[in-house]
Amino acid sequence: MDAEKLRSLQLTAAKVRLGAVTGVFNAKSGHPGGSLSSADIFTYLYFRQLHIDPQNPKDPGRDRFVLSKGHCAPGLYAALAQRGYFSPEELERLRHIGAMLQGHPDMKGTPGVDMSTGSLGQGVSAAAGMALAAKMDGAGYRVYALLGDGEIQEGQVWEAAMFAAHRKLDNLCLIVDCNGLQIDGDVNQVAGIAPLDEKFRSFGFEALTADGHDFHSLEAAFDAAAACQGKPAVILAKTVKGKGVSFMENQAGWHGKAPNQEQYDQAMAELNAALKELG
C-alpha cells in the first residue's frame, strides 16, 4: 500500500467515524463504542478488500459481508454511505420511524446489507452458508463476517466454526473486533475467552492477528487470509473501544449510549480535527 492509498483510507475512516457518531447522536441511542473500534476494519473492507459494486448491490457474484455484531450498524452504515450505497443524509434518520436504517442491519431494507443480524452469534452460521453456496456453485466470491470479542461467548459461534472448518471453507474469513470490553465490563473478567488464537486454531482455523487501527497490519492479515488454502481464516484485530473520541476510548459505558449535545460537540471537534490533520 503506497502513502497516497494509506492517506485515502485514513481520511475515509475519519469520515466513517464522523458518520457513526452523527447517526447515534441523532438517534439518541445506539452503539458508538464498537462502531468506532470497527471503523478502520469497515473502511478497509469496503474500500480495499471487498469485490462489490454499489450500483449493483445484489450482484450474485459479489463478495459478501455479514456484520455478526449487528449493534455496530452505525459504523457499517457510515461505511456504506461513504462507499455510495445511499446518501450520508440517511445517517441523520438512523433508528427513526420509517427510516431505511434500522437499529440493527436489515437486508431487506438497506442496500449493501447482505444479512439481517443483531442477535449475537448468528452471523457466522449465515456467512458459512454463503461460503458453502459459493463452493457448491463453483463461484469465486468470498465471504467476510465481523464479530465482537464478547460475542465469542455465544455457543453458536463455535458450532459454526466447527462446521466451516469441517467443510474446508477457505473462502470464509472472520474478523474479531478485539476491543476487550462488553456491556458488563472487561471481557476476560465477565466470562474469559482467552486464548482466542489457540481456540480458533484448535477448531481448524488459520488464526491471524492484526492491529485493527493500522491499515498496513490489516492489509497483511487480509492478504494472508486470502492466501489460506483448505481452511477458513480468522483475523483477531486488536482495537480500542471508542477509538477516535477521547472520552469514549476504553470505556465500557460507551458500549450502547448516545452522546448528549455537549459530548457530541466535543466528539465532532475531535474527529474534525483528525480529519483536518490528514488534509
Partner 1 sequence: MADIVKKATRESFGEALVELGAENPNIVVLVADLADATKVENFGKAYPDRFIECGIAESNMVGVAAGLASCGKIPFATSFAMFSAGRAFEQVRNSVGYPHLNVKIVGSHAGISVGEDGATHQCCEDMALMRSIPGMVVLNPADHYEMKAAVKAAVEYNGPVYIRLGRLAVESCNNNDDYRFEIGKGITLREGGDITVIATGLMVGEAIQAVDALAAEGIHARLIDMHTVKPLDQELVVKAAKETGRIVTVEEHNVIGGLGEAVAACLGERCPTPLARMGVQDVFGHSGPAADLLKEFGLCAGGIAATVRKVLRK
Judged by beta carbon, residue 104 or residue 213, the one nearer partner 1 is 104
Backbone angles phi, psi at 21, to 5 degrees: -70, -40
Amino acid at 212: G
Task: Say if residues 156 and 77 touch (Cβ distance below 8 Å).
Answer: no
Min. distance of Cβ 56 from partner 1 in angstroms?
Answer: 16
Judged by beta carbon, residue 103 or residue 185, the one nearer partner 1 is 103
Residue 176, strand partner residues: 147, 236
**Separation CA 116–CA 95 (nearest Å):** 15
Min. distance of Cβ 119 from partner 1 in angstroms?
Answer: 5
**Separation CA 254–CA 103 (nearest Å):** 16
Q: Could you tell me which of 15, 88, 73 has the C-alpha nearest to residue 47?
A: 15
Distances (CA, A) of 70 to 151, 180, 194, 256, 259: 10, 17, 23, 12, 20
Min. distance of Cβ 134 from partner 1 in angstroms?
Answer: 7
Q: Could you tell me which of 149, 118, 117 has the C-alpha nearest to residue 130?
A: 117
Judged by beta carbon, residue 74 or residue 123, the one nearer partner 1 is 123
Judged by beta carbon, residue 132 or residue 275, the one nearer partner 1 is 132
Judged by beta carbon, residue 64 or residue 213, the one nearer partner 1 is 64
Min. distance of Cβ 59 from partner 1 in angstroms?
Answer: 12
Distances (CA, A) of 268 to 232, 259, 260: 39, 11, 12
Judged by beta carbon, residue 6 or residue 107, the one nearer partner 1 is 107
Min. distance of Cβ 1 from partner 1 in angstroms?
Answer: 31
Q: Indicate the SS3 state at residue 107.
A: coil
Q: Which contacts (CB < 8 Å, 24+ apart) does range 262-265 have?
A: 264/21, 264/25
**Angle between helix 3-27 and 73-83 (nearest 10):** 130
Q: Which three three-digit cell numbers place residue 50? A: 471487498
Judged by beta carbon, residue 78 or residue 164, the one nearer partner 1 is 164
Min. distance of Cβ 263 from partner 1 in angstroms?
Answer: 32
Q: Which three three-digit cell numbers place residue 162? A: 466447527
Min. distance of Cβ 206 from partner 1 in angstroms?
Answer: 20
Q: Which three three-digit cell numbers place residue 201? A: 486454531
- Which residues bind to partner 1, rule: CB under 8 A? 60, 66, 106-108, 114-119, 122-134, 136-137, 155-156, 159-160, 162-163, 166
Min. distance of Cβ 234 from partner 1 in angstroms?
Answer: 16
Judged by beta carbon, residue 114 or residue 219, the one nearer partner 1 is 114
